[in-house]
Amino acid sequence: MSKWRTVTSGILQELVLGLALFNIFVSDMDSGIECTLTKFANNTKLCGVVETLEGRDAIQRDLDRLERWAHANLMKFNKAKCKVLHVGQHNPKHNYRLGGEWIEEKDLGILIDEKINMSRQCVLAAQKANRVLDCIKTSMASRSREVILPPTLLL
């Protein structure tokens, strides 16, 4: 039988049941949430479509609910790790807050259209890679595989 241990912060990582216990603890986190809430281990993502002010308000209401849930359960979100990701060319890029703090916007540099199509991103990435490969090729005097291959593997 296991001995009782004092836990001052978080879940003990070496415990096999640690993640399961944490998941049970946060199982009611999505109660009353209007948008989509996904949880994996100790990460939580709130996702919503914002085409109207009502969509923006729904996300903000959910953020307020999550903040109240955390307070009621004696937990805190790491606000430094909370980010907003705006997707779509015509996204109004609203600002959101968690508690009293504005959430920083995170731009991953990924091009995605309104239909979540990444073909333009793939074309641009391929063009960039080809330019780099062309620079490597033109800067090498030898065209042998042994000379050209090592620099390309660094990409």
User: What are the backbone dihedrals phi and psi of residue 86, each rounded to the nearest 5 degrees, phi first?
Assistant: -90, 130
Q: Where do the structural domains in the chain lie, given as residue ranges?
A: 1-108, 118-155
Whole-model pTM?
Answer: 0.62
Q: Which two tokens stand for residue 78?
A: 């790491």
Provide CB contacts within 8 A for 37, sequence distance 6+: 29, 30, 44, 45, 46, 47, 62
Query: Could you report the per-residue pLDDT of 80-138, keeping only the tens digit for each?
Result: 889 898 877 777 889 999 998 999 887 666 666 556 667 777 888 889 888 988 888 88
- Mean pLDDT within 44-52: 89
* Per-residue pLDDT band at 16 (split at 50, 70, 90): low
Under 8 Å between Cβ of 42 and 84: no
